[in-house]
Amino acid sequence: MAKQKKKSINTIADNRRARFNFELKEKYEAGVSLEGWEAKSIREDKAQIAESYVLLKDGEAWLIGCYVNPLKNSNQEMDPARSRKLLLNKKELAEIFRATQQKGLTCIPTKLFWKKELVKCEIALASGRKSQDKRENIKSRDWDRQKAKELRERTKN
Report how far Cα 10 is from the mean position of its chain's Cα atoms. 13
Statement: residue 7 has pLDDT above 60: no
Nearest to 123 by CA among 4, 17, 24: 24
Residue 34 lies in a domain: yes
In a domain, residue 149? The reply is no
CATH number of the domain residue 32 falls in: 2.40.280.10
Residue 156 placed within a domain: no
Pairs from 91-96 (Cβ < 8 Å, separation ≥ 24): 92/28, 92/30, 93/56, 93/59, 93/60, 93/61, 96/28, 96/56, 96/61, 96/123, 96/125
CB 15 within 8 A of CB 48: no
Mean pLDDT throughout 7-24?
80
Q: What is the mean pLDDT of residues 127-149?
A: 83
Q: Is 138 within the bounds of a domain?
A: no
pTM for this predicted structure: 0.72
Residue 35: inside a domain: yes
pLDDT at 1: 47
pLDDT over 70, % of the chain: 90
Domain range for 17: 11-129
Instruction: Grade residue 8 by pLDDT with cuts at 50, 70 and 90.
Output: low
Q: What are the counts of helices (DSSP H) followed by strands (DSSP E) for the chain?
A: 4, 9
Listed in sequence order, the residues at least 6 apart from 10 whose beta carbon sits closer than 8 Å to its beta carbon are 113, 114, 115
pLDDT tens for 36-55 read 888 888 888 888 888 888 88
Residue 157 lies in a domain: no
Residue 89 lies in a domain: yes
Residue 82: Cβ within 10 Å count: 13
Would the pLDDT of 4 be above 80?
A: no
**Residue 64 and residue 52 in contact, taking contact as beta carbons nearer than 8 Å:** yes
The arithmetic mean of pLDDT across residues 77-106, rounded, is 86
Residue 8 φ/ψ, nearest 5 degrees: -65, 155
Examine residue 61 and state whether it is found in any structural domain, yes or no: yes
Domains identified in the chain, total number: 1
